[in-house]
């Protein structure tokens, strides 16, 4: 069976984890965490990066830093992972879902403004498949209405929009280093802070409500409890694992892009014949090959394709069931406007195997199987 995902492993991970063990420093914020933070700050020109225990907790931190009051509203797409929404709910917000664009599956920036009410505080832009949302428009709307912008860039590490790395455009950016993402530490993530006014509060929030970070820098002479907080520091073992992959980020990215481009070439014939739709990468967006997907005619055809591929030994999978129709979505939010694309497009999408070092022969088999399926329909 050709796997859908194989977590990246580049070779130096064990070495670095051994170093962390021998340093006798395996709790958070040791040398490897600092190296990862610095790598993100340098390579993405980020004002501040803080490793977290997951992409979800990076989103939790971002939403808590937005300082929401009960009844405040957060605008987000419904076609996303539960983490995007549940972070806003935990911070006390009501969810307002808006429709997506069918070309990128990202939030439709032209539908955001009409969903704004006096209670709106935050817009969450989730960059699906590592392809950027229309950030110029989103930032312009946010600035005109005094709203915060949180980028859920869990899938967008190494992608950019008009030259700016995803995660560094809004007020906060959130990355995931889960094993299903392009760079992995098993479970982990990072919060990118683009406005220095939030640095201190973020450090306190991440360190159980204490000013421990300031204390270690010698900026205060007492270490004490100063505000509410939580524990968002990953272990050094995980950070060491990640650092090996960040050092190889360009190679991993290029390898994934090669596989992505190979799929895209191979399926041009399906596109031209009007049999399937392929991903769109808008002008100004540089993506990271997080995902390759096809869009079938409808749900029935997608179900048939997935089971055909399974018979051929290929694991292909569908993606999000829209959150607004999920039990928690109904409880915590509402959909503003018409669901023209969210449900319909989500039912057509199928993701193909794509991971670092996907074998060319395996990929050929995936391609052949897809083409064979479409030759028969
Ligand atoms: C993976 C993902 C997350 C959550 O990241 P974890 O590290 O698994 O907590 C959040 N949002 C999106 C869009 C994701 O793809």
One domain, residues 297 and 167 = no
> Is the pLDDT confidence value at 8 over 90?
yes
One domain, residues 234 and 257 = no
What range does the domain containing 307 cover?
Answer: 249-376
The CA-atom distances, in angstroms, between 291 and each of 33, 73, 131, 256, 280 are 27, 30, 10, 9, 12
Please tell me the residue having the least CA distance from ligand 1 atom 7.
55
Which of 322, 328, 292 has its CA nearest to residue 77?
322
One domain, residues 205 and 284 = no
Cα(7) to ligand 1 centroid in Å equals 15
Q: Give the end of a domain, one of 193, 215, 246.
A: 246
One domain, residues 276 and 224 = no
In a domain, 86, yes or no: yes
> Model confidence over 151-183: pLDDT tens digits?
999 999 999 999 999 999 999 999 999 999 999
pTM of structure: 0.98
What Rg do the C-alpha atoms of the chain give, in angstroms?
21
> Model confidence over 93-110: pLDDT tens digits?
999 999 999 999 999 999
> Model confidence over 199-240: pLDDT tens digits?
999 999 999 999 998 998 999 988 899 999 999 999 999 999
One domain, residues 222 and 324 = no
Cα(55) to ligand 1 centroid in Å equals 5
> Is the pLDDT confidence value at 131 over 90?
yes
Cα(370) to ligand 1 centroid in Å equals 28
> With a 6 A CB cut-off, is 52 part of the ligand 1 pocket?
no
Contacts of 67 (CB under 8 A, 6+ apart): none
> Is the pLDDT confidence value at 84 over 90?
yes
Per-position DSSP letters for 86-100, written without gaps between them = HHHHHTTPEEEEEPB
One domain, residues 324 and 206 = no
Q: Are the C-beta atoms of residues 236 and 28 closer than 8 Å to each other?
A: yes
Average confidence score pLDDT of the chain: 97
> Is the pLDDT confidence value at 377 over 90?
no
- Give the mutation target among 152, 157, 173 for probing the ligand 1 site: most ligand atoms within 8 A of CB: 152
Domain count, the chain: 2
Q: Give the end of a domain, one of 246, 270, 303.
A: 246
Q: Indicate which atom in ligand 1 lies nearest the CA of residue 56.
A: 9
Cα(254) to ligand 1 centroid in Å equals 22
Q: Give the end of a domain, one of 211, 246, 281.
A: 246
- The SS3 assignment for 139 reads helix
Rounded to 5 degrees, what angle do the CA atoms 341, 371, 369 make?
105
One domain, residues 198 and 315 = no
One domain, residues 160 and 301 = no
> With a 6 A CB cut-off, is 369 part of the ligand 1 pocket?
no
In a domain, 3, yes or no: no
* Token pair 């270690």 in the structure block, residue: 216
In a domain, 4, yes or no: no
Q: Indicate which atom in ligand 1 lies nearest the CA of residue 127.
A: 13
In a domain, 147, yes or no: yes
Q: Indicate which atom in ligand 1 lies nearest the CA of residue 178.
A: 7
CATH number, position 338: 3.90.1150.10
One domain, residues 56 and 86 = yes
């Amino acid at each position: 069976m050709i796997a859908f995902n194989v977590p990246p492993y580049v070779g130096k991970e064990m070495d670095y984890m051994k170093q962390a063990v021998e340093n006798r420093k395996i709790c958070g914020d040791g040398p490897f965490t600092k190296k990862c933070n610095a790598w993100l700050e340098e390579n993405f020109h980020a004002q501040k990066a803080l490793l977290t225990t997951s992409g979800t907790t990076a989103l939790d931190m971002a939403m808590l830093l937005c300082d929401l009051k009960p009844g405040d509203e957060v605008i987000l797409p419904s076609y996303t992972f539960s983490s995007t929404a549940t972070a806003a709910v935990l911070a006390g917000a009501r969810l307002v879902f808006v429709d997506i664009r069918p070309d990128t599956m990202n939030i439709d920036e032209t539908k955001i403004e009409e969903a704004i009410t006096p209670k709106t505080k935050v817009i969450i832009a989730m960059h699906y498949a590592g392809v950027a949302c229309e950030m110029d428009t989103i930032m312009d709307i946010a600035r005109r209405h005094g709203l915060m912008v949180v980028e859920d860039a869990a899938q967008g590490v190494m992608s950019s929009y008009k030259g700016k790395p995803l995660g560094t455009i809004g007020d906060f950016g959130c990355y995931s280093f889960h094993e299903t993402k392009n760079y992995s530490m098993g479970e982990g993530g990072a919060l990118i802070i683009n406005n220095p006014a939030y640095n201190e509060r973020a450090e306190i929030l991440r360190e159980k409500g204490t000013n421990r970070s300031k204390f270690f820098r010698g900026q205060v002479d007492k270490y004490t409890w100063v505000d509410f907080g939580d524990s968002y520091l990953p272990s050094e073992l995980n950070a060491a694992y990640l650092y090996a992959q960040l050092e190889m980020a360009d190679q991993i990215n290029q390898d994934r892009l090669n596989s992505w481009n190979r799929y895209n070439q191979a399926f041009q014939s399906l596109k031209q014949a009007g049999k399937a739709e392929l991903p769109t990468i808008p002008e100004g967006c540089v993506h990271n090959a997080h995902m390759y997907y096809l869009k079938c005619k409808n749900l029935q055809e997608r179900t048939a394709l997935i089971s055909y591929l399974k018979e051929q030994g290929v694991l292909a999978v569908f993606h999000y069931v829209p959150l607004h129709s999920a039990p928690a979505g109904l409880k915590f939010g509402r959909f503003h406007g018409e669901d023209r694309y969210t449900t319909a497009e989500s039912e057509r999408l199928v993701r193909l195997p794509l991971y670092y070092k996907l074998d060319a022969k395996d990929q050929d088999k995936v391609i052949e199987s897809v083409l064979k399926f479409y030759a028969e329909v």
